[in-house]
Structure formats: C-alpha cells, structure tokens
Amino acid sequence: MRLGLFLLCLSAAAPAWARDPVLSVPLNCTLGMDCYIQNYVDADPGAGAADFTCGTLSYDGHTGTDFALPTIKDMWNGIEVLAAAPGTVTATRDGMDDHPQGVEGAPDVSGKECGNGVVVDHGGGWNTQYCHMMNGSIQVEKGQRVTAATVLGTVGLSGQTQFPHVHLAVRHNGTVIDPFNPDGVISCGIEAISNGTLWNEDMRYVPGGLLAIGVSPEMPEYESVKAGTAGTGQFSTSDPALVVFGLAYGGLAGDIMRLSISGPEGEIVGYDAPVEKTQAQLFRGAGKRSPGAWQPGGYRASVQLIRNGHTLDERQFDFTVIE
C-alpha cells in the first residue's frame, strides 16, 4: 500500500515552445512504483542547491534528472533505458564496471564520470545524454537513428554514482535545460510548474518517499538494505528478534519514520524514528528481542514516512512465523 500526499501535478504535453522536443520517460518502468526521481537539475545559481520547486531533491551543480531504481537488486532485472525522443546517436561508451563510488574497490572514473552512456541528437541544437548504464548493455551505435521506443541499454552503476539510476541531461546549444522547467523561471511551490514542461505526459513531483521495507531477525547493515538483500523472508518461532526497517529518499529534518510490527498477540514493535537532518537517502529500523519464542502465525510490518503530521508515504509487509 502506498500513499502519495504532497504531490504536485505538472502540466504536461505542451512544451514551452513549439520547436522544443517532446520527451518521454527514459526508463521502461512505472514512476512511483518500480522507479522514482531522486534528483532534478540544480536551479540554484549560487553555491547552494535546490530543485525547480525550491525543494531539496538536487545537489550543487547537478545537470540532469536522475531516474532511479529502489535498490541495487532491482538493477539486475535489466530495466531498459529508452531514448526520450527521436534522433540520431552521436556518441556511445561501454565497458565500464558497475561499481558504486565511495566504497572499497571503487574504480577511478576521472574524466568518465558519465560511465557507460549514449548521446542522442534531436536537431535544432537539442540533444539528450544518458549516463550510468550497465556494463555491456549498450545496444545502439554512433550514426544510428532512434525513436522514443528504441532501447539504448539498461540501468546500471557505472561512472560517478552511488545508486542505480540513469542521469538524463537535456541540452540546447550546449546549455543545460531542465525538462520540468524549460523556461528557467525562478519560482517556488506550485508556481514552478505553471509554465509547461518538455514531457509528453502528466508527471508528478514527489518530495520524498519510501523505497523499500522489510523484516529481519536482526538489525541489517545499511549497505545490505540499499543492495536489496536485507531480510530473509522466512521466520521461525526461534528467531532471536524481529526487526522492521525502511529505506527512504528525500528525508527532511523533522520527518518521522514510524515503524511497527503486529502479530497474533497485537503490536510487538511501535517506534517513531526521527530524521535529524536533510538526507538524499536514509535507513531506519526498530525491533524487539524474542520473549523466548515468537507465537506462530501471521504478522504485519508497517512503515510510514511522516512530514509535518501528514503521511507522505506508507508501505506494509505481511509475513508468517512458523514453528
């Protein structure tokens, strides 16, 4: 179950000018279900960072839109990257390893921060660039004509990245254009989406949400949660503990992650975990040690991300404890 409050509906289809390209989502996925937008183009001209709504989903100098997968495990499903509009391929690169930066063994990607990628020219000075695709997945070559349905490759972890995603950069005559705010009007809130976008469908701005939840017999490591490998999925009456955890994005200081587990005898875990600072991604968990033996039967774990007293997102996970 997922709740999506605080959604700003973006005007769609009609581009800012008739000569602009009309873009489709560059991943073969459903936004808000099996993929999401982690970062937008940095709209702050100074040293700070802000997305086009004056929100926090960007970082200083970010030049594209990051269409991301919830966990690294999801990447291995081979999520296709599609050309966002018709055009001609002008550059490709493949052969770089899928390895997140900032962890042991990360390769040097200096000068190749985009990782495995493709550039497509759309005419009229417009082009799009697709970065961080999976090693060995590039399916097009320089000079090839593509449509908006052409598969370019699959989502990966190559180049300068710490999570599986495709960085879509849109440029006109070499200048970065935010497809959510092509006119570059400096405004905040609902005013930021009133001037049209480059997208061919209604899009939604979601300021944060849950990426994954699960249950484990012990507190999992953050790396395993991000990888999508935390939690066994099988539980017995002899397990030492039951721990519910949640992975979220777009966290703000003052948010609360509400974690609970209920079983045959009622609620056994109930905890409000505070978010102390703004974080692009965050993980929280809460649990209870075994009272000696868990009651066999059906259990339900629930995770809510709460902002200013309202539920921003919610998910539930049902599981069974067996003897």
8 falls within a domain: no
Q: Is residue 6 in a domain?
A: no
- Per the structure, the complete domain to which residue 252 belongs is given by 209-322
Most confident residue range from 11-25, 224-238, 260-274: 260-274
Residue 302 included in any domain: yes
Decide if 3 is inside a domain: no
Whether 23 and 133 share a structural domain: yes
**In the chain, what is the straight-line distance between the N-terminal and C-terminal CA atoms, in Å?**
28
| Residue 124 sits in the same domain as residue 95 | yes
Predicted TM-score (pTM) of the model is 0.91
Co-location of 41 and 130 in the same domain: yes
Report how many domains make up the chain. Answer: 2
Rounded to whole angstroms, how far apart are CA atoms 185 and 320?
52
Distance CA 160, CA 107 (A): 9
91 occurs within a structural domain:
yes
Q: How far is CA 275 from the centre of its chain?
A: 19
Residues 221 and 190 in one domain: no
Residue 66, SS3? strand
Report percent pLDDT > 70 for the chain. 92
Does residue 23 sit in the same domain as residue 170?
A: yes
Kind of pairing between the strands at 310-322 and 235-236: parallel
Domain edge (last residue) among 201, 227, 249: 201
Q: At 175, is the pLDDT very low, low, confident or very high (cuts 50, 70, 90)?
A: very high
Same domain membership, residue 215 and residue 181:
no
Q: What is the CATH number of the domain that holds 184?
A: 2.70.70.10
DSSP result, 22-51 = -B--SBSS-BTTTBEEEE-----SSSS---
pLDDT at 266 exceeding the cut of 70 = yes
| Residue of 317, 319, 322, 260 lying closest to 293 (CA atoms) | 322
pLDDT at 19: 58
DSSP 246-298: EEEEEE-TT-EEEEEEEETTEEEEEEEEE--S-EEEEEEEEEEE-SSSPPPEE
- 68 and 155 both lie in a single domain: yes
pLDDT of residue 159: 97
| Residue 32 confidence (pLDDT) above 50 | yes
CB 74 within 8 A of CB 86: no
Q: Report whether pLDDT(50) > 50.
A: yes
- Report residue 72: phi and psi, to 5°: -65, -35
Average pLDDT over residues 126-154: 97
On the question of pLDDT at 18 being above 70, the answer is no
Same domain, yes or no, for 164 and 37?
yes
Q: What is the pLDDT of residues 124-139, one digit of tens each?
A: 999 999 999 999 999 9
Amino acid at site 101: Q
Together in a domain, 162 and 228: no
The last residue of a domain, from among 145, 176, 201: 201
The larger pLDDT score, comparing residue 245 to residue 17, is at 245
Q: What is the predicted pLDDT for the residue at 16?
A: 43
**Cα 36 from Cα 123, distance rounded (Å):** 29
* Range 250-266 average pLDDT: 97
Q: Say yes or no: 217 and 248 in one domain.
A: yes
For residue 1, being part of any structural domain is answered with: no
Tell me: do 144 and 227 sit in the same domain: no
Whether 14 shows a pLDDT value over 50: the answer reads no
Comparing CA positions, the residue from 83, 76, 73 lying closest to residue 22 is: 83
C-alpha distances in angstroms, 70 versus 25, 144, 192, 247? 17, 31, 27, 9
**What pLDDT digit, counting tens, does each position of 69-99 carry?**
999 999 999 999 999 999 999 999 999 999 9
Banded pLDDT at 104 (limits 50, 70, 90)? confident
| End residue of a domain, out of 184, 201, 218 | 201
Who wins on pLDDT, 281 or 234? Answer: 281
Q: What is the CA radius of gyration of the chain?
A: 21
**Do 235 and 215 form a contact (C-beta atoms < 8 A)?**
yes
- Helix/strand/coil for 195: coil
One domain for residues 27 and 131: yes
The per-residue pLDDT for range 221-238, each reduced to its tens digit, is: 999 999 999 987 789 999
pLDDT digits (tens, 9 = 90+) for 187-202: 777 666 666 899 998 8
The confidence score (pLDDT) of residue 5 equals 35
Whether 58 shows a pLDDT value over 80: the answer reads: yes
Domain membership of residue 55 (yes or no) is: yes
Give the integer Cα–Cα distance in Å for 72 and 29: 15
**CATH number of the domain enclosing 252:** 2.60.40.2550
Structure tokens of 67?
A: 């269409």
Residue 242 pLDDT greater than 90, yes or no: yes
Evaluate if residue 7 carries a pLDDT over 60. no
Kindly tell me the burial class for residue 311, based on how many C-beta atoms sit within 10 Å of its own C-beta (0-12, 13-18, 19 or more): middle
Return the residue matching tokens 């440029």.
Answer: 171
- Tokens describing residue 34: 């099996």
If you average pLDDT over every residue of the chain, what do you get?
A: 91
Confidence at residue 190, expressed as pLDDT on a 0 to 100 scale:
63
Supply angle C-alpha 66, 72, 78, rounded to 5: 80
